[in-house]
Amino acid sequence: MKIEINNFDIRHYSVLIKNSVSYRKLKKLFLVEGVSFVLVALLNVFVVFVCHSVSAFMILCLTIAFALFIVVGLRLRQSDPVKGYTKFLEKNPDYRLKAAFNDDKVVLEGHTAFSDTNSSYDYARIVGAEEINGFFDILLEGSGYIVFDESEITEGTPEELRALLRAKLGQKYKAK
């Protein structure tokens, strides 16, 4: 049996990362840093009104809160997977990735104007696989995710892929 996914792209992967736990935590940290900066600024204004003098300690706290806010904001901006995907596509507009799920292994073939790559993985190297709302999300050990919509399957059927993943992965495959 062979199930082939032809020319899917990595937009699904960027959405997956954007919705990941670590990215959401970074967004929450950014929000906390912003709120703490505003609170320290308001406290600083209050102290100035009450004491009619500027406290060096309060200015230091305000500066630290602002610096942390900027650092976390820059980190959040740099790690935005959608922007990373957009930059990748600008450099590689013809990028294509083809995946084939054979009886014994998963074969990935990547293509850009500059290079072609081929790699294969035994099913034992699949850490886990999920199917959610028609999307298959497969994590390969040390290589990242393969994410695709069932409509992107060009050879075989989604039912055949589900059966193959259940047979090869057992409990590591989950359908939600």
Report pLDDT digits (tens) over 77-90: 877 767 777 777 78
Where along the chain do its domains lie? 18-85, 97-175
With 80 as the cut, is the pLDDT of residue 16 above it?
no
How far the first Cα of the chain sits from its last, in Å, is 24
With 90 as the cut, is the pLDDT of residue 169 above it?
yes
To the nearest whole percent, how much of the chain has pLDDT over 90? Answer: 24
The DSSP bridge pattern shows strands 173-175 and 126-132 to be: parallel
For the whole prediction, is pTM greater than 0.85? Answer: no
To the nearest whole percent, how much of the chain has pLDDT over 70? Answer: 86
Q: List all residues 6 or more positions away from 92 whose beta carbon is below 8 Å from its beta carbon.
A: 112, 113, 114
Positive or negative torsion for Cα 150, 80, 76, 138: positive
Candidates 7, 1, 69; CA nearest to 32 is 69
Distance CA 32, CA 27 (A): 9
CATH number belonging to domain 97-175: 2.30.29
Report pLDDT digits (tens) over 117-152: 888 999 999 988 888 878 888 888 877 778 888 888
